[in-house]
Chains A and B, each alone.
Chain A
């Protein structure tokens, strides 16, 4: 079975640009979460979506947005990129997104902002 897949795996953007990261959850999983992992730190929660509705949002500026599609895949968008947005962006999926659900991570998208 395919796990959580993310694209692109690596990308370089310049300050001020916009980026879109994509995620396909494990088949049958209806919840997708996004995390930012800066080198040397633990993943920081950005968003959680379940059945196309935003269920949770972490402490990130409005430049960060996301959505979930009818097939449960998801996009994370970041506008007006800053150097500090350079990080590994992780997508995770779970069956229903409840606190008792195990989440499974993709390999991430490495974003470098120059």
Chain B
């Protein structure tokens, strides 16, 4: 069955720390993967997406993700987080846009 899974449910970091959030997918065929962010009280916003080509994808607000086919992974990274990055992060993919359960990121000032 097609699925997208996120391993970290809640991550707490201090400002300037580096971030990596895990995402794994399990489906075949064309792989389209997305990371969305949901800031408190706001709607889901697209951070970045991978369709094909360069497996290292740059998104908004300094985020990037790397598609590693051999590991079925699409982890989200940011070298130095800010307090304003506190939000819920969702990985999504598959033909009918399945979402992972989300990772809540709390950045302490």
A residues whose Cβ falls under 8 Å from a Cβ of B:
33, 35, 40-45, 48, 56, 58, 90, 92, 99-100, 102-108
Contact = CB atoms under 8 A, between A and B. Distances in A.
B101 interface: yes
Interface residues of B, number: 23
B99 A103 contact: no
Interface of B: 6, 30, 32, 34, 36, 42-46, 49, 51, 90, 92, 94-102
10 interchain residue pairs of minimum CB distance: A42-B99, A105-B44, A107-B43, A99-B95, A56-B96, A42-B102, A43-B99, A42-B101, A105-B43, A99-B32
B43 A106 contact: yes
A18 B6 CA distance: 34
The binding surface of chain A is classed by DSSP as: loop
Contacts of A48: 96
Nearest to B6: A42
A102 B34 CA distance: 8
Contacts of B34: 102
Contacts of B96: 45, 48, 56, 58, 99
